[in-house]
């Protein structure tokens, strides 16, 4: 199992309502994530912190669920591409894992998907 950190842009997707209302969400997949991997979602801009821990329950899907499109802001995301399906495991308070602390604990970047270091996983699992 691999743990990943992936960024989320609130301008394109209403992640808060999607996680509150859906059993799972489909997320654009740009790495070789596998079923059973963990994904931590870093929300940029106004939050600047990791807010979610998810399990990957499906990968390499060609389209996303119609349910997800309700949370697509202004139709900016495509329904066709490469998607993975995520099931929420845990939500965190907005300030619990801020960017500065993440970088001090092994996070390399928040610009794109990245594998979490052992140091970062230990910090997130404390």
Residue 74's φ and ψ, nearest 5 degrees, are 55, 25
**For residue 118, how many other CB atoms are within 10 A of its CB?**
9
Domain total in the chain: 1
What is the average pLDDT value for the chain, to the nearest integer?
Answer: 90
78-123 per-position pLDDT tens digit:
666 789 999 999 999 988 999 999 999 999 888 889 999 999 999 9
CA distances from 52 to 27, 41, 73, 124 (A): 13, 5, 20, 11
Q: What pLDDT, on a 0 to 100 scale, did the predictor assign at position 74?
A: 75
Quick one: pLDDT band at residue 56, thresholds 50, 70, 90?
Answer: very high
Dihedral, CA of residue 3, residue 94, residue 102 and residue 122, to nearest 10: -50
Query: In the structure encoding, which two tokens stand for residue 15, read together?
Result: 């992640």
Residue of 50, 54, 60, 55 whose CA lies nearest to 30: 60
List Cβ neighbours of 70 (8 Å cut-off, separation of 6 or more): 18
Q: Which CATH number fits the domain that encloses residue 15? A: 3.10.590.10
Residue 69's φ and ψ, nearest 5 degrees, are -65, -20
The better pLDDT of the pair 53, 65 is held by 53
Per-residue pLDDT at 75 exceeds 90: no
Question: Containing domain of residue 102, as a range?
Answer: 3-124
């Amino acid at each position: 199992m691999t743990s990943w950190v992936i960024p989320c842009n609130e301008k394109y997707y209403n992640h808060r309502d999607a996680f509150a209302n859906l059993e799972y969400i489909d997320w654009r997949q740009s790495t070789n994530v596998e079923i059973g991997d963990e994904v931590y979602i870093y929300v940029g801009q106004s939050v600047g912190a990791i807010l979610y821990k998810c399990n990957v329950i499906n990968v390499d899907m060609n389209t996303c669920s119609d349910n997800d499109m309700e949370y697509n802001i202004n139709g900016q995301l495509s329904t066709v591409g490469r998607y993975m399906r995520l099931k929420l495991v845990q939500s965190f308070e907005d300030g619990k894992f801020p960017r500065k602390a993440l970088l001090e604990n092994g996070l390399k970047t928040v610009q794109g998907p990245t594998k979490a270091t052992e140091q970062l996983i230990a910090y997130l699992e404390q």
